[in-house]
Amino acid sequence: MKKNKLLEAGTEIPDFTLRIGNGNGDDHKDNFMTLSDHRGQNVILAFYPADWSAVCGNQMMLYNELIPMFENYNAVIYGISVDGTHCHAAFKEHNNMTIPLLCDFEPKGEISKLLGVYNHEKGFCERALFVIDKNGIIQWSHVSPMDVNPGAKEILETLKNIEK
Amino acid sequence: MKNLFTYELELPVNDQDQIAGPENAKITIVEYGDYECPHCKMAMPIVKRIKEDYGDDLRLVFRNFPLTQIHKFANDAARAAELAGEYDKFWEMHELIFRNQDQLDIDHLIDYAKQLGIDSDEFSARLEQNEKVEKVKSDFMSGVESGVNGTPSFFVNGKKYEGSWEYEDFSKILKEL
């Protein structure tokens, strides 16, 4: 079984572009997010296995609630799964969420594999978190068990350390 | 085996909290909950029954963890419960709100206060003046800092409890403490 290695703190994160799951399939640039466009800002990447599953939903709802808190630390957050744009859009609308969700959809799991958080056996990404600083350096990364919602304690602690 | 107790409760129980039971109780349960969360509604009678089982051997604390973006009445409901606490009616209001979870707009919240004998004009004015906003927010932040990841979350004697909170399961764990 192929196994990826989680990119760890101190590593520069490889740049990537992913489609934003807003239900719009057009190839207009506004429908994509390029990580390096966020240089100068802290970025939180929250990989999760799937839209609609209970644990994932709770996790994204919590982060959605914390968006203003993250902004206080000059941070933006993105949720990422292998789901497609229409799936993300429906999931967000159903839960009244504004958190941007990215589609690691085609080629499936490409960015999850790049960062070492793809589960080859299950065919979706692990539940994994990355906090990336203004210069694109990973300051903290973590993989949780599939069924454990990791909350936000360590994300906020890492951001506090970066910003102090 | 899964570790049943994980994160530490970062903010100790203090005089700002809604508390039922004595300080020297053998067991302290701190719940972080959201009045619009269906799981919290299910947990309410279970927690109540556990409190009754243990009497003065158990101290129960409720802190607010409303997901206000997805639950539009949760913040006002939390404020209303906290405010009822100033009239010594917190736990009665807490139960009334959960029992009427599908009707939590301001008018209903004021009506619940009235049912508990609270002066509804005064209560309404205080809600309108945004009383208890800071309390609810600080409850929420203390939860995030203690690793609360959703609701309900329970801390037993200062440690986050990750197991089942169904009555039989939760009771069994508490007995083994």
Q: What is the pLDDT of residues B119-147, one digit of tens each?
A: 999 999 999 999 999 999 999 999 999 99
Q: What is the largest CA-CA distance in chain B?
A: 54
Contact A151 B149 (CB under 8 A): yes
Determine contact, residues A101/A110, Cβ cutoff 8 Å.
Answer: no
Tell me, what's the pLDDT at B70? 86
Alpha-carbon distance of B64 to B135, in angstroms, equals 9
Tell me, what's the pLDDT at A3? 65
For B154, list phi and psi in degrees, rounded to 5.
-120, 135
Determine contact, residues B44/B81, Cβ cutoff 8 Å.
Answer: no
Tell me, what's the pLDDT at B129? 97
Tell me, what's the pLDDT at A4? 74
In 3D space, the residue among B12, B21, B47 whose CA is nearest the CA of residue B157 turns out to be B12
Residue corresponding to tokens 């809604």: B18
Alpha-carbon distance of B107 to A60, in angstroms, equals 31
A100 has a chain B CB within 8 A of its CB: no
Nearest CA in chain A to B71: A96
Determine contact, residues B50/B175, Cβ cutoff 8 Å.
Answer: no
In A37-76, the residues whose Cβ lies within 8 Å of chain B are 58-59, 61-62, 64-66, 69
B57 has pLDDT over 90: yes
Rounded (10°) CA dihedral A85, A90, A93, A98: -20
Tell me, what's the pLDDT at A56? 59
- Two structure tokens written together for B123: 């209560």
Q: What is the 3-state secondary structure (H, E, C) of B38-78?
A: HHHHHHHHHHHHHHHHHHHHEEEEEEECCCCCCCCCHHHHH
Helix or strand holding residue A127 (H, E): strand A127-132
Considering Cα of B143, then B109, then B96, then B51, what sign does the dihedral take? positive
Contact A62 B150 (CB under 8 A): yes
pLDDT band for position B47 (cuts 50, 70, 90): very high
Nearest to A149 among B67, B68, B149 (CB): B149
- Of residues B17 and A149, more confidence is placed in B17
Give the angle A74-A46-A75 at the CA atoms, nearest 5°: 0
Contact A149 B150 (CB under 8 A): yes
Give the angle B132-B133-B138 at the CA atoms, nearest 5°: 95
Tell me, what's the pLDDT at A54? 73
Residue corresponding to tokens 């292998």: A82
- In b/e form, how buried is each residue of A129-160, taking b as 16+ CB within 10 angstroms? bbbbbeebebbbbbbbebeebbbbbebbebbe
Alpha-carbon distance of A100 to B152, in angstroms, equals 25
Best mutation target among B69, B71, B148, B155 (most A Cβ atoms within 10 Å) is B69
Report which DSSP code applies to B126: H
Tell me, what's the pLDDT at A133? 98
Q: What is the ipTM of this complex?
A: 0.87
User: For chain A, which residues score pLDDT lower than 50?
Assistant: none
What are the pLDDT digits (tens) for B25-38?
999 999 999 999 99
Chain centre distance of CA A69: 17
Nearest CA in chain A to B67: A65
Percent of chain B with pLDDT over 90: 95
Tell me, what's the pLDDT at A27? 93
